[in-house]
Structure 1
Amino acid sequence: MRVPGGLAIVCVACLAVVQAEVRADTRWTRVDTTNLIVIGGIGEGRQRVIAAEFEGFRDALTRLLSSNVTATAVPTVVVMFPDEKAFKPFKPVYQGKAVGVGGLFVPRRDVNYILLGPDTTPDALRPVFHEYSHLIVNNVAPDLPVWLNEGLAEYYSSFELGNDGRAVTFGRPLDEHLRELATSQWMPLKDLLATTRDAPQYNEGSRRGVFYAEAWLLVHMLLHGQPDRRQAAGGYLRDLGAGVAPADAWQTHFGNDDIYKALRQYSGRLIMGARKYQLSDRIARASAAAVPLT
């Protein structure tokens, strides 16, 4: 992909800002793939791996959904921070404190940014897929309710590609969310559905954990639970796309069900399903080229 000159200036400007926040011996590098620019201070080798995983995830979604879903009119720049000190200035602030996020998706008119904090979990690729899922969702439905936007991103963050390059899995159970729900006080369903980006449950410590866990579980139940609610979920999404108020759309399609009770029961299931697909052609590992930053 040819990089527009204006974007190169953006990349250099972004680098100048982050370099001021990290130790002097951090070496920032850039690698490009067909659809991404990855700038980071985590080592060129690791950046190549992350870039290839991004491309594999994008390729899988393109084949299973549509190129209209994954195509973007503007470039996508991924910035990978080597430590919390470098990442902290870019985190959202709530009531004077940095929100404990692992990544951010920042859409702009001329470029999409994905900012990723340091790898701190055994499942380090999940934040990668989560933030890219926000980009995909933003392409097709930019104004989804917060619970649904985050729940879908968590659902798709469980992406796994088999060693053969053909077996694709979405929706595997996320143990950290199940543990959170087993040990924490749940949010009432009405609060979950009404959550906004400036709400305490979206920004404050442990309350964020419960919000993300419930949002993920609700999406998982709507896609995998019994009775089958996929048709109702599809109707809900169509109404949202047509401009129906979220509360009215929910009432139309789920108002007669005790969803909260069903969700509590669903969380206790010993086995949760996942969606598995077998592609006709394998997903090849994408190549990434190093590009000078100066």
Structure 2
Amino acid sequence: MNLASSSRSSFRRAAAGVAIAAWAAAAPAAERPWIEVRTPHFVVVANTGEGTARDVGWQFEQVRYVFETLWPWARHERGRPFVVFALRGESDMRALAPKFWENGREGTVGVAVSAPDKDYVALQAGVALPDNLRTNPYFYAYWGYANRALEASFPVTLPPWYQRGFSDLFGNTLVRGKDVHVGRLIEHHLRRLGEASRVSLPEMLAADWKSKYVTDDGWRRTFDAEAWMFVHYLVFGENGALRPKLNRYAEQLRQGRPSPPAFAEAFGELAPLASGFSLYISRQLYGYVAIKADLNIKAEGFAARALSPGAAAALRAGFHAAMDRPREARALLEEVRRVEPSSVLADEVEALLLDREGEKEKARAAYARASDRGSESFYVHYRRASLMRQPGASKEALTLMAKELDQAVRLNPDHAWAHGTLARVLSDLEPGTRAIEEAKRAVALEPSVAAHRLALTGALWSASRSEEARREAQSALALAADESDRKNAQEWIDFMNRPDAGSGRTGGAADSTAGAAGGDAGFQKDWMPGAAQACEAGHGDACAALAAVYQSGDGAPKDVPRALLLFEKACTASELKACVIAAYLKLRGHDVPKDEAGAKKLAAKACSGGEASACQLLKSMPR
């Protein structure tokens, strides 16, 4: 989950972990009619007037246009919805995002959050934007859009200076009639740069997500201010001469090249850049760019319709689910069931809630129900197929998985994991050209992800193209981002080098790597006694495999506390993904005691070991 908010006074960045409030969700807003306005790339859900909803949609289209004009590497998933809630007043905002009024917080006029199936922004419409405004009150609405664009464009862990500085730069975008201003100054960053000791440029560039500059509140404010100013310099400094180099650096990151050599190749020697940046900080005047709005986008041409009370409540429930507010989400789902018992939107939200809580069987049933009722969510179809994945699946099951994944890639042709998972299924069901093409599509979309290379390895191997398969496996090994990637790639290489391997159907080798795509391990009971012995002997992978069984209840009675103990044991044996899962269980407190301190310790260990997902989790935890 990715979360951001605009505070009324200080625009503090929001933490992802939230306390659950007991009060009912969205009562005041439910009394007003809701409408939906669809632009080419956004869905505006509003309880304002239709004109305001159209204007909000137009502004977001302009933001998107400018983003892609300035940064040619930008990529968006065409089938991943981006929902913008336009709300009439503070009471509506408070009902949708209550956490920003809890524990003495001052409220918000804008918040951004991402879920597995879609991205959201909520904003209070009608906030004044005077001519002398410097910091946009909707800062984190646009910050959320920029951050999501970065995540879609770079399927790797970005350096903190780049991700934070870039998102801050774009967060202060202002849409002004016929112009869009990018690069306006941020007051609190300027103050910080004038008051605090600075981080040296080499230190800033070298900092990772576990650095004190990111994890310590005081240092992070300085780091964020300097990262913002550095990106500002790279975009607008030296009369724009550095911007092509910044784009070249971005493209190398997208291809999977590590940041230090990518930066050195794009910018050359660091000393002249550091000197230029130092002079830039000392300036009193800074430029920004005003880009002409795309006047071909006509607000009056957007499709608009009234939403039923059930549909409006289900959409708000999805926002609460993304914010990790299950109580509010389920309260709204109860409203939906009373008025629309067969609501597909409600099925989708319920499936997401169950999936997050580790209720895999119930989640699988909810995804199946949504799919059978005609869901247009790519994620419903992708996730249903992923949860069906297990070794030795029948032809009937494989056929159903392929059908679901075909639907997923139809609805979202840019979702690399759906293409990769479809390639794995087809490698078992009908090896050949189609499986290879789906895997190649996954690689083309996310060339730096090792798991997609392994999907292509399996597709090529099952089609008896063994030499090409070996090359792809070596590529996957070179691209491995963590120990799990390296292990999966090495297992493929070892398998293909066995004298008895032959070429063709992959059996266990293909299934052992399929789990990286988000599937179910599908372990069988006859395997478990041997795994238990191996776990006791200190084999972390065996502990993790057993833990997955007890967590899901697939192959043994569900026992989450036992699963947690096993995940922690695997973590002790340096199975870093097990550390992350154990951290999530402790952080969320589903079926086990909530333990934020313990979660942070587990995530820190995995992050220090190079597990990217652990570093992302650490970023989202309350400080």
TM-score normalised by L of structure 1: 0.69
Look up the match of 1:13: none
Change (3 A) 1:142 1:24: closer
Structure of higher CA gyration radius: 2
SS in 1 for 2:204: helix
Q: Is the 8 A contact 1:151 1:217 kept in 2?
A: yes
SS in 1 for 2:270: coil
Superposition deviation, residue 152 in structure 1: 1.9
Higher strand share: 1
**Corresponding residue to 2:149 among 133, 136, 143:** 136
- Report the AA paired with residue 161 of structure 1: V
SS in 2 for 1:27: helix
Quick one: distance in 2 between partners of 1:172 and 1:59? 18
Quick one: distance in 1 between partners of 2:196 and 2:76? 36
- Report the AA paired with residue 225 of structure 1: G
Superposition deviation, residue 131 in structure 1: 0.9
- Aligned pair 1:272/2:292, yes or no? no
- Report the AA paired with residue 44 of structure 1: T
Superposition deviation, residue 189 in structure 1: 2.8
SS in 1 for 2:247: helix
Range that drifts further, 194-203 or 269-278: 194-203
- Report the AA paired with residue 79 of structure 2: A
Aligned-residue identity in percent: 22
Change (3 A) 1:223 1:65: closer
**Corresponding residue to 1:245 among 249, 255, 258:** 258
Quick one: distance in 2 between partners of 1:117 and 1:278? 25
RMSD of aligned alpha carbons: 4.2
Look up the match of 1:292: 308
Superposition deviation, residue 181 in structure 1: 1.0
Higher helix share: 2
Specify every segment of 5 or more residues in structure 1 that has no aligned partner in the other structure, as ranges.
1-16, 92-97
Change (3 A) 1:292 1:180: farther
Quick one: distance in 2 between partners of 1:291 and 1:36? 16
Superposition deviation, residue 187 in structure 1: 2.5
Superposition deviation, residue 281 in structure 1: 3.3
SS in 1 for 2:214: helix
Change (3 A) 1:116 1:194: farther
**Corresponding residue to 2:160 among 138, 146, 154:** 146
Change (3 A) 1:282 1:117: closer
Superposition deviation, residue 186 in structure 1: 2.1
Change (3 A) 1:113 1:242: same
Quick one: distance in 1 between partners of 2:218 and 2:71? 34
Superposition deviation, residue 262 in structure 1: 3.2
Look up the match of 1:226: 238
Q: Write out per-residue CA displacement over residues 77-105 of structure 1, whole angstroms, 9 at most, x where no aligned residue.
A: 3467724994439x9xxxxxx9x997444
- Aligned pairs, how many? 265
SS in 1 for 2:145: helix
SS in 2 for 1:82: helix
Look up the match of 1:9: none
**Corresponding residue to 2:48 among 26, 44, 47:** 44
Superposition deviation, residue 44 in structure 1: 2.9
Quick one: distance in 2 between partners of 1:270 and 1:137? 30
Q: Is the 8 A contact 1:134 1:153 kept in 2?
A: yes
Q: Is the 8 A contact 2:170 2:182 kept in 1?
A: yes
Q: Is the 8 A contact 2:75 2:152 kept in 1?
A: yes
Quick one: distance in 2 between partners of 1:240 and 1:191? 19
- Aligned pair 1:56/2:82, yes or no? no
Change (3 A) 1:281 1:140: same
Change (3 A) 1:21 1:159: same
